[in-house]
Amino acid sequence: MGEFVIENRIWNPEMETMPVEDIKKLQLKKLKETVAHAANVPFYRNEFAKRKITPESIKSLDDLARLPFTTKEEMRSGYPFGLFAVPPSQLIRIHASSGTTGKPTIVGYTKKDLALWAELCSRFLVAGGLTPNQITQVAFGYGLFTGGFGLHYGIENVGAAVVPASSGNTKRQITLMHDLNVETLICTPSYALNIAEVIEEMGLKGKLALKYAHFGGEQWTEDMRIAVESALNIHAFNNYGLSEIIGPGVAGECAARNGMHIQEDCFIFECINPDTLEPVPEGEEGELVITALGKEACPVIRYRTRDLARLYRMKCPCGRTGMLMSRVKGRTDDMLIIRGVNIFPSQVEEALLRIDGVAPHYLIELYRPNNLDEAVLKVEMTPQSFSDKMEAMIKLKERITREVSTVTGIHFKIELVAPNSLERSLGKAKHVNDMRNLKVE
């Protein structure tokens, strides 16, 4: 610990190395402004009124505990623009993430929000080796998901070149990386392992210019880091973010890799016991709760991320003063991350209920052959949906595939199974069997 794996570089020394006391003063000032601005959102205005909260009543960061939590449910009930503090006309970008049911969670950005987001992505990219003269390939999907576009503008903000390859078509990805001398790769860690395998198949091992990778979008482990670094001969860095807060860029690793530095000038982190909602002692695992500071379109106060991790402070040799967070160790809800896309089993259920005659008796099975997530959905047959004609059965399978893909964005391989063949325990069906071996550290 403490040794730099690459040269130590800092994008914004003023903010990233600010003394902790000064960061806290800045956070307090911004928290008051955030409370004032959030009052434009009916949900926050009502909550503040109930709790007699005004910007002036915020005297110290301890007053954070008086503020209401925001959950995914609030975001869902506010669909689409209910939790926005500006009218849609002021937005210049809209992204979405999975909701627990069919409707996604919508997030929006003003021009200032996008500039802030690019700045935050630039910080972790530079910490992990990005320089303006590099060519960088983004293999995250470009679309509603915040990963692709978030990183894209962060890279451009640094002055490096972006190859917006998006996800999929691995051989083409590798050809581009090889031919363009791409030095930095952005993707999910499992996809990087898959890329490494295909590079070997293509006989290109050792022939690429790749030096760095930035991984996000899914949980990964130190074992995976060792595997991907040796397979691709690179240095791999972890970053953290979520679209409900802003997207990637909330925290990221430095060259010393002691954890992920939180961008504390823009976010206040808390770590709570998800049952009692009380803070856990520093360094202990709990649910991360995040307040975003200085966002215009979607101010977020005390967002319950459902991500389990540890928070700690240490004197990091890189000079950054931001609090550190550990890798995310798990979730407090049943959200699944499949190929970097977040989904909830309830979305699958909703999709199945759209099809006449199909019962919502299902099991999601997740595998990771060749380091690529494979999702199988077993659906129990019912007398209503069964036909003696093969054509009708194939059509039923295709219909299920389509409906589930529409709702979740994930292509599931559908398996029709016999009635009552899926395990039911205590009357409650088990809906997920994750066999991907995601044990963390």
Partner 1 sequence: MKIKQLSLFIENKPGSLNAVCQILKNNNINIRTLSLADTEQFGILRLLVEEWEFAKKVLEEAGLIVRVTEVLALPVDDRVGGLAAVLDVLDRNNLSVEYMYAFTFGKEGRAVMVFRFEDPDKALEALTKEKIDIIESIGLFH
- Chain residues in the site for partner 1 (CB under 8 A): 381-383, 386-391, 393-394, 415-421
CA distance 135 to 210: 10
Q: How far is the CB of 409 from partner 1 (least distance, A)?
A: 23
For partner 1, the closer of residues 156 and 415 by Cβ is 415
Q: Any residues with CB less than 8 A from the CB of 138 and at least 6 apart, and which?
A: 148, 151, 152, 155, 162, 163, 164, 165, 166, 186, 187
Structure tokens at 47: 């909550």
Nearer to partner 1 by Cβ, of 7 and 391: the residue is: 391
Shortest spacing between CB 368 and partner 1, in angstroms: 21
CA atoms in the 13 A half-sphere facing the CB of 418: 3
Distance CA 331, CA 335 (A): 7
- Tokens 């459902």 belong to 306
Q: Locate 298 and state its tokens.
A: 């979607």
* Residue closer to partner 1 (CB basis): 382 or 437: 382
DSSP H helices, 42-162, are 42-51, 72-77, 111-127, 146-158
Query: In Å, what is the CA distance from 303 to each residue of 67, 285, 306?
Result: 11, 17, 9
Nearest residue (CB) to partner 1, 283 versus 419: 419
Min separation Cβ 399 and partner 1, Å: 15
Tell me how far, at minimum, the Cβ of 348 lies from partner 1, in Å. Answer: 18
Residue number, 203 or 369, with CB nearest to partner 1: 369
Q: Hey, how many other C-beta atoms are within 10 angstroms of the C-beta on 164?
A: 15
Q: Which is nearer to partner 1, 370 or 384 (CB)?
A: 384
- Rounded to the nearest whole angstrom, what is the least distance from the CB of residue 415 to partner 1 in the complex? 5
CA-to-CA distance for 268 and 27, rounded, in angstroms?
7
Closest listed residue to residue 262, CA positions, set 324, 320, 327: 324
Q: CB 300 → partner 1: shortest distance, Å?
A: 44
Helices 390-408 and 345-353, packing angle to 10 deg: 140
80: cis peptide before it, omega within 30°? yes
Nearer to partner 1, 181 or 384 (CB): 384
**Shortest Cβ 355–partner 1 spacing (Å):** 16
**What secondary structure letter does DSSP report for 436?**
S
Nearer to partner 1, 383 or 427 (CB): 383
Q: What is the dihedral of CA 190, 196, 199, 200, to 10 degrees?
A: -130
By beta-carbon proximity to partner 1, the closer residue of 49 and 392 is: 392
Q: Find the shortest distance in angstroms from Cβ 372 to partner 1.
A: 20
Give the separation between CA 339 and CA 146, rounded to whole angstroms. Answer: 14
CB atoms within 10 A of CB 390: 8
CB of 413 to partner 1, least distance (A): 9
